[in-house]
Amino acid sequence: AIANGSDIADWTQAGALVRAAIDAFGRLDVVVNNAGFVRDRMFVSTSEAEWDAILRVHLKGHFCVTRHACDHWRAESKAGRTVDARIINTSSGAGLQGSVGQSAYSAAKAGIAALTLVQAAELARYGITSNAIAPSARTRMTEGVFADMMKAPESGFDVMDPANVSPLVVWLGSAESKSVTGCTFEVAGGKISLADGWRAGPAVDKGARFEPDEIGGVVHELLKKAVPAQKVYGT
């Protein structure tokens, strides 16, 4: 292993990080994007600086490192060498359904889930898969905010041990996961679930432009037919 202190949200430093891995090991197979922090605030108390910082490290950090990695893999593919590469992004339950007091974090993590879908669609032609995880575990971000939930038990299975997340990451980075792409997996303790994501729901098609006074009835009819959304965390 090697350590590298590059700023993953700095375009040039992210490129140097990817190059350091290739120089050290002679090849690049997997990118795991996992850097992040929180600046928890209610939306009306969130500053511009806090918003920018969260989106920078989470969303731009995912972009910068992976873009440089994909430049390398694309060049390998164009040179006629077989590419079997993996991108593993880190989203969050907050990004999938929202979390009170975490508007910036939720927005960034939702962006990462959507980015994963686009990467999977665009990069398959080069032999690259992209999946995301939404883990629930004890980290420096969660052990202070959710102290009671994250407290390690005195005995028995430690549901919030971050080591519980690692096996899924290992498998997603392996050759066995070649056929799996564009997925987001929630993982907590011994539970792995496949997030269902956004999809087209009930529809009404008038075949002509709606008038404003018609919209209310249409919306209420759609809501009757729709599967209720999961509750936002903290509500």
For residue 34, give Cα distances in angstroms to 19, 59, 64.
Answer: 18, 11, 13
pLDDT, tens only, 22-65: 999 999 999 999 998 888 899 999 999 999 999 999 999 999 99
The set of catalytic residues is: 92, 105, 109
| pLDDT score of 78 more than 80 | yes
Q: What is the mean pLDDT of residues 185-204?
A: 92
Predicted pLDDT of residue 152: 74
Which of 22-26, 85-89, 223-227, 231-235 comes out lowest in average pLDDT?
231-235
The CA distance from 27 to 108, in Å, is 30
What is the residue whose two structure tokens read 């995301």?
132
Q: What is the mean pLDDT of residues 126-130?
A: 98
